[in-house]
Amino acid sequence: MKREIKFRAWDRVKKEMNDISDVDWGAGHNYFTDNSYVIIQYTGLKDKNGKEIYEGDMLSLNGNMTADDSMGWLPNGWIFDEEDKYPVRWDEKLAGWVLEMPTKYDRKDEEAVKYLNHARGLLINGDIEIIGNIYENPELLKERRYD
């Protein structure tokens, strides 16, 4: 299987997303010296609509259910709702793409946090939907659930 390596760039000055090939890498815009661009990597994954998922994309888990209880410690029945939206990031420890999840959950159900680690499977299986990204839609960061 061939892995597709792609990037895009967020222009911090113009506040716009660019295809990496459209970026002027000339003397006036050197990423390494003036830091005017954020380079964003394609994860190699797609959402449920076939849209490519990039680092920093905000994904909705709305309507997805956790894994079954075949291991004996997770009961079925946890369903993510419209408030469950998280950005994609690279995790050094796992050496893979993950959804940036909270360490505790703000729902009344304190047991909910144990279900969140199943969201990585939803990301990999493409059972999620891109609803924006952290650069063009910073308000989505404020709307997500965190501790």
CATH at 85 = 2.30.30.290
Angle at 125 between CA 1 and CA 9, to 5 degrees: 75
The CA distance from 120 to 62, in Å, is: 14
Residue 5 lies in a domain: no
| Domain span at 113 | 43-143
Q: What is the pTM of this model?
A: 0.78
Q: What is the pLDDT of residue 33?
A: 59
Residue 121 lies in a domain: yes
Specify the 3-state DSSP secondary structure of 33.
helix
Q: What is the pLDDT of residue 4?
A: 86
Residue type, 39: I
Q: What is the pLDDT of residue 147?
A: 39
Give the residue ranges of the chain where pLDDT is below 70. Answer: 1, 24-34, 65-78, 102-118, 143-147
Structure tokens given for 130: 């891109």
